[in-house]
Chains A and B, each alone.
Chain A
């Protein structure tokens, strides 16, 4: 049994609670840092994180990038997408191919 968590500011993540996902409202980067590492140690397979929070935690996210679990997936927060999720896809292509071919 694995768990799914959603991290981000209160207003962005509250809605996920209704779907039965675990919600972790975070207001400061330090809080996020702590919560992220705690969840990675525990049984969380997927962590959804708002892009707004991910900007501040990019170093922590990079640590889990090549690990099998957890998968940290960026989702747009309530302010709208920042394009980081999309640019991550682009980075992955660049990393693999050596150039952006899409």
Chain B
């Protein structure tokens, strides 16, 4: 059903046709964008799942060792041992543009006072499990940073895909059919107007002709009455 507010005029028709063309081009472009985003997204999500599984496993191992260490050492001692880290992490963030979506890229550097040394404590008063825990965590750190990047990317891409998908669907199933319907309505209305006009002209012509004939007949009758007799002129009937 065409909306009730459109004017069935030629100007409106031209305008609508232009809009339809733009909408169709926009629809095609958005569809391409959606497909490409989806392709990228699937890659990212697969990596995300694999990384997450790895990080979770690694962290559980670290937590396991850590719990044992916490059981063996007093809480104060444990906290003291870890209080002043030897290593520091520097993070730089840049942005990468995937199909007009800005996603973060992290680059990080670890600074260590002594090369290859992550344990910030002396070995005399700490348990061996603590070494294991710190070791496991430092191994998983690389994956954790990558996970942050990948997971954020997948979230941002998902949002953009959702938006694009909505737009594509709105154009495909609402906007474009509505415009086509309106165009059809206007063309039909204009054609109808044209036909009505032709018929009206024909009718008017008929009426004028009838009037002219009538006038002619009246004039004839008058002439006969004035100049002729009944015997030398044919009767009108």
Interface positions of A (Cβ within 8 A of B)? 1-4, 11-12, 14-21, 45-46, 48, 65-66, 68-69, 71, 73, 75-78, 80-81, 85-86, 88-89, 92-93, 95-98, 102
Contacts A/B (CB < 8 Å), 19 sampled: A1-B92, A2-B91, A11-B67, A15-B66, A18-B119, A45-B93, A46-B145, A48-B144, A66-B155, A71-B149, A75-B56, A76-B60, A81-B60, A86-B53, A89-B52, A89-B151, A92-B45, A92-B155, A96-B161
Q: In the complex, what distance in Å separates the CA atom of A69 from the CA atom of B147?
A: 15
Other-chain contact of B63, A4, A12, A92 (Cβ < 8 Å): A12
- B57 smallest CB distance to A (angstroms): 9
B82 CB within 8 Å of chain A:
yes
- Asked if B23 is at the interface of the complex by the 8 Å CB criterion, the answer is no
Please indicate the chain A residues that have their CB under 8 angstroms from the CB of B104 in the complex.
45, 68-69, 71
Chain B residues near A16 (CB-CB < 8 A): 137
* The residue from A73, A81, A102 contacting B148, defined by CB atoms under 8 A apart: A73
Determine whether B211 belongs to the interface, using a CB cutoff of 8 Å to chain A.
no
Q: Does B78 contact A (CB under 8 A)?
A: yes
Q: Which residue of A lies closest to B45 (CB)?
A: A93
B183 contacts across to A, CB distance below 8 A: none
Is B186 among interface residues, defined by CB-CB distance under 8 A?
Answer: no
Which 9 A-B pairs give the minimum distances between C-beta atoms? Answer: A71-B152, A96-B161, A20-B88, A96-B158, A92-B158, A20-B87, A78-B63, A2-B91, A46-B148
Task: Contacts A18-B134, A66-B155 given; indicate if A76 touches B63 (C-beta within 8 A).
Answer: yes
**A17 CA to B141 CA, complexed, in Å:** 12
- Chain B residues, Cβ within 8 Å of A15: 62-63, 66, 82, 133-134, 137
Q: Closest residue of chain A to B151, judged by CB?
A: A73
B159 x A66 contact (CB < 8 A):
yes
Cα separation A78 to B56 with both chains bound (whole Å): 11
B contact residues around A77 at 8 Å (CB): 63
Residues from chain B with Cβ under 8 Å of A95 in the complex: 158-159, 161-162
